[in-house]
C-alpha cells in the first residue's frame, strides 16, 4: 500500500485462549478484555492506541484520531474500518 491507497481493516475480538488478549495480523484492530484498543497497521507491528480517540460506529468499525504513526513503518488513518496511508 502506498500513499493515498486504502485497504479494508479487520476487527478482531478478545481470545479466551489468551486470557482476553488479541491476536492481530497485519491490518487488524480490536479492543481487548481490559478495554484497550489495539491496531496493527499494514506492514507494521501492533500497538495500543494511547493518546488517540477511538469512535466506534454502529456497524462495528472504528475511526481513530489523530493519525496513527509508527516512525519508519507506517503513517495514516483508520476511518470507518478502512486503512488510508499518507
Higher-pLDDT residue of 77, 3: 77
Q: In terms of residue numbers, what domain contains 64? A: 6-85
Is residue 1 situated within a structural domain?
A: no
Judge residue 72's burial from the number of C-beta atoms within 10 Å of its C-beta, 0-12 exposed, 13-18 middle, 19 or more buried. exposed
Task: For residue range 49-74, list pLDDT tens digits in order.
Answer: 999 999 999 999 999 999 999 888 89
pLDDT of 5 reads 83
Task: For residue range 3-51, list pLDDT tens digits in order.
Answer: 778 999 999 999 998 899 999 999 999 999 999 999 999 999 999 999 9
> What is the b/e burial string over 36-63, where b = at least 16 CB atoms within 10 angstroms of the residue's CB?
ebbbbbeebebeebeeeeeeeeeeebbe
What's the number of domains the chain is made of? 1
Q: Compute how many other C-beta atoms are within 10 angstroms of the C-beta atom of residue 5.
A: 11
Amino acid at each position: 500500500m502506498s500513499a493515498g491507497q486504502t485497504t479494508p481493516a479487520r476487527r478482531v475480538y478478545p481470545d479466551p485462549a489468551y486470557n482476553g488478549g488479541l491476536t492481530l495480523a497485519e491490518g487488524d484492530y480490536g479492543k481487548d478484555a481490559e478495554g484497550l484498543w489495539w491496531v496493527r497497521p499494514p506492514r507494521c507491528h501492533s500497538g495500543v492506541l494511547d493518546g488517540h480517540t477511538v469512535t466506534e460506529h454502529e456497524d462495528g468499525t472504528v475511526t481513530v484520531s489523530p493519525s496513527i504513526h509508527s516512525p519508519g513503518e507506517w503513517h495514516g488513518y483508520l476511518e470507518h474500518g478502512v486503512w488510508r496511508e499518507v
